[in-house]
Amino acid sequence: MGRYVGTSVKRVEDPRFIQGKGRYVANIQFPDMVYVAIKRSPEAHARITRMDTSAAAAMDGVVAVFTGQDFKDGGCGSLPCGWLVPDTKVPDRPIVVTDRVCHVGDSVAVVAARTPYIAADAVEAIEVDYEPLPTVVDARGAMDEGAPLVHSEIENNVSYHWALGDQEACEKAFAEADEVVEIELVNQRLIPTAMEPRAAAAQWDAASEEMTVWTTSQNPHPIRLLLSAFTLGIPESKLRVISPDVGGGFGSKIFHYPEEVIVPWVARQVGRPARWVATRTESQMTDSQGRDHVTVAKLAMTSDGTFTGLDVETWANQGAYLSTFAPLIPTALYITLLSGNYKMPGVFGKVHGTLTNTVPVDAYRGAGRPEAAYLVERLVDLAATRLGRDPLDLRRQNAIPKEDFPYQTPVAFLYDSGDYDRLMTTAADRADYAGMRQAQAEARAEGKLRGVGVVCCIEASGPAPSAVAGSLGSAVGFWESGEVRVHPTGQVSVFTGSHAHGQGHETTLAQVVADELGVPIESVEVVHGDTGRVNFGMGTYGSRSACVGGSALVRSAEKVRAKVLQLGAHLLEAAEEDVVYDRDTGRVHVKGSPESGKDFGELAFAAYTAHNLPEGMEPGLDFVSFYDPANFTFPASSHICEVEVCPDTWEVRILRYVAVDDVGKVINPMIVEGQLQGGIVQGVGQALTEIGAYSDDGQLLSGTLLEYAVPRADLLPGIEVDRIETPSPHNPLGVKGAGEMGTIAATPAVANAVLDALAPLGVTHIELPLTPERIWRAVQAAGNGA
Amino acid sequence: MFPSQFDYHRAASVAEAVELLSSLPDAKLVAGGHSLIPAMKLRAAQPAALVDIGRIPGLADVSADGDSLVVGALATHAAVADSAAVRSGCPMLAETAAAIGDIQVRNRGTIGGSLAHADPGADYPAAMLALGAEITAVGAGGERTIAASDFFVDILTTALADNEVITSVRVPCVAGGAYLKHRHPASSYAVVGVAACVGMDGGNVGSCAIGINGVTGKAVLAGAAAAALCGGPASADRIAAAAGRVGDAFDEPLGDLYASGEFRAHLAGVYTRRALAVAAERAG
Ligand SMILES: Cc1cc2nc3c(=O)[nH]c(=O)nc-3n(C[C@H](O)[C@H](O)[C@H](O)COP(=O)(O)OP(=O)(O)OC[C@H]3O[C@@H](n4cnc5c(N)ncnc54)[C@H](O)[C@@H]3O)c2cc1C
């Protein structure tokens, strides 16, 4: 282990954040800037029969008003979808609609004005008449015979069907099963709710014909590519996309959004810099949302509790249009995870991606994997109940043994490494599981509704081998770039194609490179988020930045070391095999005589003066690597949650939450713990409070934070986080993803605990979120309670 | 989140505020701004002018006056929650103020604004009803006092005239009171809030009042439940039986995404039972 990797180095980004010195898109300001505001559809599905922008255009301070036709005529292409499974039907998604709106919040017209206040007034002054059309909002109902069509050319509202697994083995498992448990559940829609709303700003230089776009994106390079190739049509060489400090994304800031096209287009059109910042209400109705599955599934087992098969059918709501990676989430990131942490020969899943009059659905923290984990872990609990077995015990019985790694599941993935039994026993020890069960028995004897939830979950993180992604439908590759540029003084600039929006890459990637080179961390600066400074990179999502982005930097650092070593040997007049690169000090010296060596800084300087280089060596010290991972990495977790349900208000109180995770090697324990804690809170939010709900006519019922309940600190006691480490053999750092594991495991952990608490009342299933009323109704339906 | 255009006036006195309200078309008072400004940012409210009373001297005082407390209209929720006079004289009022929103809201929001706004999920109204508070307001025709039971007319509607300014609230000191709420997980407003007052007469309950907000468009008194508790001991059984009568107070329970009217009515029963038990214990 190096000096920095494995230690809780304080985050270098925090001083600027806690002093209010972060630089966000909303801080981008130019003297003659225009403020963009967007007229949004209040209708979920309607034909626009009349639009009158004249009053808005005539208002004092309004610079311009544009309609969908203006954008079309002005060369804006529709938003593409970047992941297409076979036979995907892709509805056209214009930047601004021309004649028909398909969800509440669809963009209808655009205003540019001298102040944001005037822009908002002008938006209100635009008159639009709508002729309402029939709506459909439900993932499964969308496929019903006679359901209204979101896009008339797409039959049955089906964008795609997809299936994976060993259907024969699955059928055999059910034919031979001693026991089968079944479930039908909804994985409810969630609204990501990053602290910072989405925003975009743009500046056009008419002389050089260069456009700079600032956007709240998790991946500026893919956005530049899409702007250039599809939507805005400015060559990549003339287009610079900058994602400065970004206040949280959780997936919702991966995608290419209309506003990223609208703002630069307007800036060029009016010849002034332009900026748009979403209001919270706009965020709720336009940021791509998460989850929204209806699933029917069953689990087959033998009488001794051995799982033999899992059969899953899911209807995945994709919303009104296909967001950038929408079809990926319920296919290659969901069905592939259905084997969970268990040995099951007969896993088979199929999914129907349907279109509805709702906001598009795409990746949200965990993306597909939480949906799989919640389903599998509920089924396992139902199996334990059926068999009269302890749920932890049944999980341990079926867990893939550590000797079986790498483990090939029936649903495509090859799990890299793990020790699920140790994970679960560590969690059980840490939680005093036996003591919790004892306390539960005592509480029950007093009439209390105490429950314990146990889960063991899997994640696929660090996407992805590019060829594999391509074969599954991706239009892009998922490698990452990393450049290590040593300056003549020995200072180091690190350029990563990944992007930090809360994860702390400026700290962790500096730790990695400082250790690789043996230089002080203070001399390593991490640069990201600017296509003008950083090589093409794929950005941050899927818990990939350490696995893929970090690995790319290791490769570049290795190249730096090799060159420095060669140069050092030359200057020390020794053979290369006789010198060593001391990674603790960054010095190159002759073996056995450290005092004879040369400092990293001296050698860097020598590389740039180039007065005395070995034969054939180029001057300079700067290396780029493009790292394509050999496989995903597979973090795992075992969480134990203890709850009590109040027997008259039906509120859930979490008494303890213990999380033991295996995210492989840990670069910075403090940051990993922060990622897990934050992730867990979001998972608890899905379990207890959050729901993105639509009325049948497509109105968003949780359109503001007065209705949409993001979890607050008082929802949870202190989370107890612990870990085990099984290094990933696939990447040089041995790391696995840490950003999403908490979210994936927390939802089923809490749900299992609550249903365990309610078991004495005969309740076996409640749809999420487990609000007091839903619990009250379930208890009543089971014939119990007040 | 950009309000439409409005003019801003700062009143130096109550008289000036009344004068501005009377003369300016479509003017509204602003005090703490924690109900009005959010509504304006959503453009749900678009007043042509705001009359800021926030800096009128003397209007934020909280003091004891014999068996009553007099709370100035500009007293913030935090000031009421922290006031020694309130905490000793009428613990339930302090408890109600402390249950409102979060720290920022309590530091800005005022009792006058909360009562005038009359949000169905606001916390003060139930307490005002149960305590039998009196609201003093000044209008063009001078000062008048309105009983809490006459004050709340309908959802977001009170007995105040357009140009009347609440100046203070007189609250009787009641030892045996309690306010409990079921907090909305998103807004933190009351899904149900129950204010219960119990006065003991020997071993029996001599007086009882129960105010409930959150369930219907305006806060209501649960008269039947309160009457059911009087005339006997405050035993757990009698409290439960009384609480079982709260449903009589609701003609049309409100529902939302989080809690239907039916569930709110259920919660009202639970919180009434709990609040009565605490109030009776405090009554001694
Ligand atoms: C995030 C958040 C959470 C909240 N949670 C809660 C909660 O849990 N419980 C709760 O009860 N409230 C809650 N509130 C509301 C808060 O208590 C408000 O402060 C209060 O409702 C209004 O008081 P104000 O002084 O801010 O009034 P303002 O917003 O300034 O005014 C509100 C209305 O009252 C009128 N008005 C103000 N003062 C007077 C006066 N003296 N005479 C006549 N009319 C007047 C105004 O014209 C306006 O119509 C919350 C608010 C927010 C923003």
Of B172, B205, B226, which residue sits at a domain end? B172
**Distances, alpha carbon A42 to alpha carbons A92, A129, A130, A138, B94, in Å:** 20, 11, 9, 19, 42
Whether residue B137 sits in one domain with residue B99 = yes
Instruction: Please tell me the residue having the least CA distance from ligand 1 atom 37.
Output: B113
Question: Which of A168-182, A446-460, A462-476 has the least mean pLDDT?
Answer: A462-476
* Amino acid A784: pLDDT: 72
Domain containing residue B26 = 7-49
Last residue of a domain, one of B111, B146, B172: B172
CB A543 within 8 A of CB A480: no
Give the mean pLDDT of A536-562.
97
What is the C-alpha to C-alpha distance for residues A376 and A745, in angstroms, rounded to an integer?
A: 11
Q: Is residue B111 part of a domain?
A: yes
Joined together, the tokens standing for residue B282 give: 């405090």
Sign of CA dihedral B213, B216, B221, B226: negative
Of A707, A693, A690, A686, nearest in space to A137 by CA: A693
Cβ contact (<8 Å) for B186 and A709? yes
Contact indicator for B121, B219 with CB cutoff of 8 Å: no
Chain B residues within an 8 Å CB radius of A119: 2
CA separation for the pair A686, A691 (Å, rounded): 7
Is residue B100 pLDDT above 70, yes or no?
A: yes
Are B196 and B116 members of one domain?
no
Task: Specify whether B156 is located in the same domain as B79.
Answer: yes
pLDDT of residue B1: 80
Q: Which amino acid is at A559?
A: K
pLDDT reading at A644 higher than 70: yes
Note the pLDDT of residue B252. 87
- Residue A83 touches chain B, beta carbons under 8 Å: no
With H, G, I as helix, E, B as strand and everything else as coil, classify residue B100. Answer: coil
Paired residues of A509 in beta bridges: none
Which residues are CB-neighbours of A651 under 8 A, at least 6 positions away? A645, A772, B182
B132 and B194 both lie in a single domain: no
pLDDT the model gives residue A2: 72
Report, as an integer, the average pLDDT of A706-729.
Answer: 95
CB contact under 8 A, B267 and A691: no
d(CA A725, CA A636): 10
- What percent of chain B shows pLDDT beyond 90? 99
Residue B54 resides in a domain: no
Domain end: B172, B195, B222, which one?
B172
Mean per-residue pLDDT for A76-95?
97
Cα–Cα distance, A541 to A545 (Å, whole number): 8
Residue B57 is assigned to a structural domain of this protein: no
Are residues B183 and B165 located together in one domain of the fold?
no
B192 and B105 share one domain: no
Contact between B3 and B40 (Cβ < 8 Å): yes
Residue B102 and residue B146 in one domain:
yes
Q: How many angstroms separate the alpha carbon of residue A568 from the centre of ligand 1? A: 72
The pLDDT score that the predictor gives to residue B249 is 93
User: 3-state secondary structure string, A125-137?
Assistant: HCEEEEEECCCCC
Q: How confident is the model at residue A785 (pLDDT cuts 50, 70, 90)?
A: low
Q: Does the pLDDT value for residue A264 go beyond 60?
A: yes
DSSP letters for A351-370: EEEE--SS--B---TTTTHH
> How confident is the model at residue A373, as a pLDDT?
98
What ipTM describes this predicted complex? 0.96
Q: By alpha-carbon position, which residue is closest to atom 38 of ligand 1?
A: B113
B132-141 pLDDT, tens digit per residue, is 999 999 999 9
Contact flag A706-B2 (C-beta cutoff 8 Å): no
Computed over every residue of chain A, the mean pLDDT equals 97
pLDDT the model gives residue A786: 52
Q: Tell me whether A498 touches chain B (CB under 8 Å).
A: no
Q: Does the distance separating the beta carbons of B2 and A116 come in below 8 Å?
A: yes
Instruction: Give the sign of the dihedral formed by CA B174, CA B178, CA B184, CA B190.
Output: negative
CB of B81 closer than 6 A to ligand 1? no
Residue that the structure tokens 């056209």 belong to? A92
Residue A1 has pLDDT above 80, yes or no: no
Give tens-digit pLDDT for A465-484. Answer: 999 999 999 999 999 999 99
Q: Which residues lie across from A311 on neighbouring strands? A: A298, A348
**Do B26 and B73 lie in a common domain?**
no
**Domain assignment of residue B55, yes or no:** no
Determine if ligand 1 sits within 6 Å of the CB of residue B123.
yes
pLDDT exceeds cutoff 90 at A185: yes
The domains located in chain A, with CATH, are 14-133+196-247+253-286 (3.90.1170.50), 290-463+631-781 (3.30.365.10), 479-627 (3.30.365.10)
| Preceding amide of A769 cis, omega within 30 | yes
B contacts of A777 (beta carbons < 8 Å): 263
In a domain, B1, yes or no: no
CB A553 within 8 A of CB A496: yes
CATH number of the domain to which B151 belongs:
3.30.465.10
Least confident of A50-54, A125-129, A681-685, B246-250: B246-250
Whether residue B2 is contained in a domain is answered as no
Is position B248 within any domain?
A: yes
> Does ligand 1 have an atom closer than 6 angstroms to the CB of B36?
yes
Measured on CA atoms in the order A203, A207, A209, A210, is the torsion positive or negative? negative
User: In DSSP terms, which residues pair with B221 in a beta bridge?
Assistant: B211
Same-domain status, B42 and B66: no
Tell me: pLDDT of A328 over 90: yes
**Pair B168, B71 in one domain:** yes
Q: What angle do CA B19, B22, B23 make, to 5 degrees?
A: 85
| Burial (0-12, 13-18, 19+ Cβ within 10 Å), A608 | middle
Which of B173, B201, B174 is CA-nearest to residue B278? B174
Residue A132: phi and psi, rounded to 5, are -60, 145
pLDDT at A596 over 90: no
- Number of domains observed in the structure of chain B: 3
Top residue of B191, B266, B274 to mutate, by most chain A CBs within 10 Å, is: B266
Residue B28's domain is classified under what CATH number?
3.30.43
How far apart CA A521 and CA A512 sit, in angstroms, is: 9
Q: What's the whole-model pTM score?
A: 0.97
SS3 B167: strand
d(CA B87, CA B81): 7
> Given phi > 0 = left and psi -120 to 50 = alpha, else beta, which region is A183?
beta
**B28 touches ligand 1 (CB under 6 Å):** yes
- Asked if A281 reaches chain B (Cβ–Cβ under 8 Å), the answer is yes
Task: For chain A, positions 713-752, list CB contacts with chain B under 8 A.
Answer: 715
B262 and B168 fall within a common domain:
no
pLDDT for the residue numbered B2: 92
Instruction: Give the type of residue at A183.
Output: I
- In chain A, the percentage of residues whose pLDDT exceeds 90 is 98
Q: Is residue B182 domain-shared with residue B260, that is, in the same domain?
A: yes
Segment B160-177 shows an average pLDDT of: 97
Contact yes or no for A456/A373 (Cβ under 8 A) = no
How far apart, in whole angstroms, are the C-alpha atoms of residue B187 and residue B101?
8
Q: What is the pLDDT of residue B284?
A: 84
Tokens of A144: 């019903």
Inside any domain, residue B186: yes
